Structure 1
Amino acid sequence: MTAESTKRLGSTLDSVVVYAQGAVCHRLARGSVSPDGRVRVTGLPRSLDPGSLRARVLGAPGVRVTEARVEVEAEPLGTGTPDELRREVERLSDEYAAAQGRRDRQLSLIEEVRALHPVPPARRREEPHRRTPVDALLELADFVDERLTGLHNRLVELEEALRNVEHELTVAADRLARASTDAPSAHVETTVCAVLTLDGTGDAEEVELELEYGVPGAVWVPAYRLTHRQGDGSGRLVLRASVAQRTGEDWTGVRIALATADLRRRTDLPRLRSIRIGRSQPAPAPSGWREPPAGLVDLFSGYDAAGPGQSSAARCPPSRSQPGRDRATGRAPAAGPSRVPPPPWRPRLLAGLRRHPLRHR
Structure 2
Amino acid sequence: MLALDSKISAVTVYRRGAVVTREVDFRQPEEGWPQQVRLGGLPLALADQSLRVRLSFPEGGAGLLATDLRLELDWQEPEPVPAPDLSAIKPLQAEQRRLCSRLENLKQDLARVENLNPTAPSSPSDQAPAAYAVQPRRALVQMRQKLLSEGLARRSQLAEELERVTTRLQELTTPLPSPPPAPLYKAVVVTLRQTPDAHCPLVRLHLSYEQAGARWSPSYTLRFDRDFTLAELSMQAHLCQSTGEDWKDVRLEVSTAEVAAWKELPELASRRIGRQQARPAKSGWRPAPPNTDTLFADFDRRPTVQVRPEEPPSWGGDPFAQPVPQTEVLDELLGAPDPFAAAAVAAFAASAEPSIQVDLRSPEDRGETMLRSGLMRRQAKAEPEMMRMRAPAPAPVMAAPMRPQAMAPRGGGGRPAGPAWQPVAPPPPPEPTSEQLAYGLLYMAGAKEPGRGHLQLRSPLEACLQLWKERYPHSPLDVLRLVQNALHESVRALQVNAPARHTFPKDLEGFDYLYSGEHNIDLPGDAQFHSVPLLTRQLSAHLLWLVVPKVTCDVFRQTSLESMPDLAVPTGPVDVYVGNDFLATTQLPNVAPGGNFSLGLGVDQSIKVVRNTGFKESTTGMMSSTTQLRQEVTVEAANQLSREVRLEIQETLPQTDAAEIKVKIESCEPAWDPISEKPGVYRWVLRIPAGESKRASLAYSIEMPAKLELVGGNRREE
TM-score by length of 1: 0.40
Higher strand share: 2
Q: Find the structure with the greater CA-based Rg.
A: 2
TM-score by length of 2: 0.21
